[in-house]
Amino acid sequence: MLLILIVVVFGILGFVISKKLKSKFKKYSQTALEANLSGKEIAELMLADHGIQNVAVNCVEGKLTDHYNPQNKSVNLSPDVYYGRNAAATAVSAHECGHAVQHAQSYAWLGLRSAMVPIQNVSGKILNFVLIASLFGGLALFNLPWEMVGVIVVGSYGVITLFTFVTLPVEFDASRRALAWVKERNIVTPSEYEMSKDSLKWAAMTYVVAAMASLATLAYYAMIFFGGRD
């Protein structure tokens, strides 16, 4: 029952934050950028200003699918951002370039996050296997004691939770770099700057909610497995 409550509460919170983010993006997309630069042009300019020449700027399908890929060194922007000439597109484009700058400058938190990706993926697969097997009695085949199952579940979810918290400084720092650059470069007017700042604030909130949900779930599993069982 408690796990269901956690899922419902954070699910609703995540939905509200996501809806608010989409609303803000739509609102700020309706005001044309005075500098008349597209997201693609802003990305290329920010990368050039930081001396980064080996990062491609691509257009990818979807809405709010924007991301930086450290594997092939590419800034990938959704069509609304890639072609958009507004404060919302500016914020997202500069934010993703902020990750490219982090990569180029060997930002420690980004390096840690990248190193954790394969470990996090394996932890997720292990957790899924254990939880599914437990539903169908599969764990009995391995004759695993309750404490061992707890170590596996809590350990795996602990890695996932740590990953969500390591992501936070990476995202906040990318936004900080983005806002500082667009302001210093006079890409935006004061009002456009506030729109960009507000857009990135709500985007960051999605990561905060995910981290808190993961922590709450981890605490639940820890309580179930190690909360005073005799």
Q: Is the pLDDT of residue 123 over 70?
A: yes
Predicted local confidence at residue 159, as pLDDT: 96
Mean pLDDT of 33-58: 97
Question: Is the CB of residue 152 less than 8 Å from the CB of residue 126?
Answer: yes
Position 4 confidence tier, pLDDT thresholds 50, 70, 90 = confident
Q: Is the pLDDT of residue 229 over 90?
A: no
Q: Is the pLDDT of residue 139 over 70?
A: no
Predicted local confidence at residue 225, as pLDDT: 86
Mean of pLDDT over the chain = 92
**Percentage, residues of the chain above pLDDT 90:** 80
Mean pLDDT of 117-133: 90
Q: Is the pLDDT of residue 216 over 50?
A: yes
Predicted local confidence at residue 7, as pLDDT: 84
Mean pLDDT of 88-108: 97
Q: Is the pLDDT of residue 64 over 90?
A: no
- CB under 8 A, 24+ apart: contacts of 34-38: 34/188, 34/189, 34/192, 35/186, 35/187, 35/188, 36/85, 37/85, 37/90, 37/187, 38/82, 38/83, 38/84, 38/85, 38/89
* Cross-strand partners of 58: 76
Distance CA 195, CA 181 (A): 15
Mean pLDDT of 213-225: 91
For the ranges 96-100, 132-136, 148-152, the maximum mean pLDDT occurs at 96-100
Please identify which of the residues 44, 96, 171, 192 carries the catalytic annotation: 96
Q: Is the pLDDT of residue 140 over 60?
A: no
Q: Is the pLDDT of residue 28 over 80?
A: yes
Active site residue 96: yes
